[in-house]
Structure formats: structure tokens, C-alpha cells
Amino acid sequence: MYVLTLEKEKRIVQPNPEAMETELKVNNLNVFYGSNHAVKNVSMEIKKHAITALIGPSGCGKSTFLRSINRMNDLIPGAVCKGEILYEGINLLDASVDVVSLRKEIGMLFQKPNPFPKSIFDNVTHGLKCAGIRKKDVLENAVEESLKLAGLWDETKDRLKHSALSLSGGQQQRLCLARALAMKPKVLLLDEPTSALDPVSTAKIEELLMSLKKRITIVIVTHNMQQAARIADQTAFFYEGTLVEFGNTRDLFENPTHTRTKSYISGQFG
């Protein structure tokens, strides 16, 4: 039921994503894993304070594309990114970019909930402590605020000192979301954040993303086309490393221009 209301709300708040400001401008991005050309010449504009969904079959390069934005591909030996990802006038792929500061502004949520084997409180404050924040009241306020934003405060406020591993899978993923939100990121990258969750937890995360996009630019990789249709303002379809089609979500799903997009969204392959 609420999915319907969300649809309506989305249409009212943002009638035309193309008129919005650009947050990330990607120009001719190529990513190689050794000899494997994983992302081929991708260019796209990711709009500010909107949800951009990346869809496509497994191994199509959408996760690789996502991980090149916050330079997580640096961790993979042999990975090379070429091209430009412009963010506030800076090419994020440039060697002079401080990846530590970059990842403070561009947060990430992973496929599998991955809380640290520590208390709920310590999980949320990890990034802040690493950023040098020590004051107890600042940390406490940040924990309350982030957990509220992630819709987890009521469930956890009495057991902040308990292990994060005592939470359910859906709660763990919302904790990871709170942990990312505590850094007050400007962009949030989500790599199939609900693929390991049940439908109720998935709906909760989607609802949260809809409310978060007012202040955060969201890029989400998803296997679930209904999810993209439900929450995304713009959708990009990847196939074998290339960006086949990119546009407003409604246009892409209702009037795909490429036959491959059409056959993928109608479930003929993937």
C-alpha cells in the first residue's frame, strides 16, 4: 500500500529529474581488471538529491562502476580506472585525490550486511572516531541521530552496548546504513543492499532511501527491476560493461529505445 503512496510522492516532489543539478559527471570511464575490460567507455550524469538505479545482468559491470566512484577498486590488485568522474570540479580518479577524505563524503552500503563484531554504539561511531572525533556527547548525539534516520533507534536505544551481531539481518543492514549516515555523506553508493534481505526489511530500506534522497544523492545497484521502478528517478541499464541505456526511470521501463533493454526488463534474459 505504502509503495503506491511513495510513487505518488515521488512524482509530486520531482517531476523531471533531467532538470536537476548534476552531482557526479562520468566521462568515458573504463575499468580493467588485468586483461578483463569490465567497464567500457561509460558516460553519464548522476543527478543531485535523486536516486539513480543501475540495473543489468550479473557481471555487466554495474558494481565495478559503483566501486570506482569511491575508489574501492583501488583495493583490488591489478584494477585500473581510466576516464573522469567529476565531483565538485574534481576528477575523483586523479592520483592526487585523498581517498580517505573522499570516502567520508561518499559513503557505501554493501550487499551483505557487514557490521563489525562490536557493540551497536561502536559500529555507528567507527567512522567518526577514525575521523578524530572523541567527545562523548558529540558521538552520542550522532548515534541517536543516525539510528533515527535509519529507522533503528526505537529498536536499539535500550541496547546500544549489545553486540551488533545480535541484530537480525534486516536490522544489521539498517545499522550499516546508520553507520554510513553518521559520516553525513553527500553521496551514498548502495551495492545490492537488499538482495540478502526479506521483503519486509527490503520495503523498510526502500522507504528510508526515499526519505533520505532529500539530502543525499543515492546511487543503487540492484538486481531487482521492480525495486528500480519503485524508487529510482533515473535508471541505467548495463550490459557486458557498456551503458546501453540511461534515462528517466519511467521512460526506460515504459518506452525502452534499445531492444536489449526491452528484452531485459521484460525478463527475457538476465
What is the binding site for other proteins (CB under 8 A)? 70, 72, 75, 77, 100-104, 107-108, 110, 112, 114-118, 126-127, 129-131, 163, 176, 179-180, 183
Give the helix ranges, DSSP H, for the chain: 2-13, 62-69, 99-105, 120-130, 136-149, 153-156, 169-181, 199-212, 225-231, 249-254, 259-265
Distance CA 205, CA 224 (A): 14
Taking the complex as a whole, how short is the minimal distance between the CB of residue 31 and other proteins, in angstroms?
17
Smallest distance, other proteins to C-beta of residue 119, A: 11
Cβ distance to other proteins smaller for residue 118 or 215: 118
Question: What is the smallest separation between the CB atom of 116 and other proteins, expressed in angstroms?
Answer: 6
> CA-CA distance, 52 to 248, in Å (whole number)?
9
Collapsing DSSP states into helix, strand and coil, what is residue 38?
strand
Residue 177 C-beta: closest distance to other proteins, Å: 12
With respect to other proteins, which residue has the nearer C-beta, 86 or 102? 102
Nearer to other proteins, 77 or 199 (CB): 77
Q: Toward other proteins, which CB reaches closer, 20 or 97? A: 97
Q: Greatest CA separation found in the chain?
A: 57
**Separation of alpha carbons 176 and 154, rounded Å:** 16
- Contact of 56 with 238, CB cutoff 8 Å: yes
Q: In this complex, which beta carbon is closest to other proteins, that of residue 176 or of residue 229?
A: 176
- Please, what is the minimum distance in Å from the beta carbon of residue 109 to other proteins? 8
Cα-based torsion angle of the residue sequence 71, 75, 81, 87 in order, rounded to the nearest 10 degrees:
10
